[in-house]
Amino acid sequence: MIDSNGSPDLEPAARALKVLLPGVTDDQLANATPCARWTVGDLLDHLMGLTLAFRTAAEKGPDPAPNGPGDPSVDRLDPQWRGRLPVQLDELVAAWREPAAGTGETAVGGVRLPADIMGVVALDELVVHGWDLASATGQPYDIDDQTLDTVHRLVSRQASSDGTPGLFGPSITQPADAPLLDRVLGLTGRSRNWRPLT
């Protein structure tokens, strides 16, 4: 969903992610995720970084990682992530609701884009990684179709059968009548049927 300022509303995706956090146990931090080579702890470290980076992008501040975000690691995960990540999600939502957030250009991880597009990239990150976290920790993931439609329009332009380095794995074809979440996941190289190896 795009607001009157031209920026996407990140609140539904942030809320869907926040409700998962109390269900993540310490012994799940080593669990595999749908993100190749990332554990749950790595994914949480990535979420800590991206919420800060995309908030800074909305505020047109200096890119905190101009040479790229680097690989996340559970070893760098803030031990206070349970308290900090919900706060950073709220700050991210608030930043993109400011009228100036969707204007001009901004940068994240060394990539410069029109700010309104960058806001949708932030939304995509929250949605896809929200599903990743839910799947890796055995929790349901609930997101509204308006949010999914906004993300689908972005990923359908970027997805490739060869993958998009740094963004998505090779796309997985889904039936045209598949649920919207399945189609979004397929375009980002994910399958709704993903399960961790046991």
What are φ and ψ of residue 137, in 5° steps? Answer: -115, 10
Lowest mean pLDDT among 110-119, 129-138, 149-158: 149-158
The CA distance from 82 to 41, in Å, is 12
Judge whether 17 and 121 are in contact, CB under 8 Å.
no
Residues 6+ apart with CB under 8 A from 173: 186
In the structure encoding, which two tokens stand for residue 101, read together? Answer: 């957030």
Mean pLDDT of 85-89: 99
pTM: 0.92
pLDDT at 152 over 60: yes
Q: Which CATH architecture has domain 11-187?
A: Up-down Bundle (1.20)
What are φ and ψ of residue 38, in 5° steps? Answer: -100, 135
Provide the pLDDT for residue 61: 97
% of residues, the chain, pLDDT over 90? 77
> Residue 111 pairs with which residues in a beta bridge?
108
Average pLDDT across the chain, whole number: 91
Q: Which of helix, strand or coil describes residue 25?
A: coil
Mean pLDDT of 25-41: 95
pLDDT at 148 over 90: yes
Q: Which DSSP helix (H) or strand (E) runs through 105?
A: strand 105-108
Provide the pLDDT for residue 175: 86
More confident residue, 69 or 57: 57
Judge whether 2 and 149 are in contact, CB under 8 Å.
no
The CA distance from 8 to 1, in Å, is 6
Judge whether 136 and 33 are in contact, CB under 8 Å.
yes
Provide the pLDDT for residue 165: 52
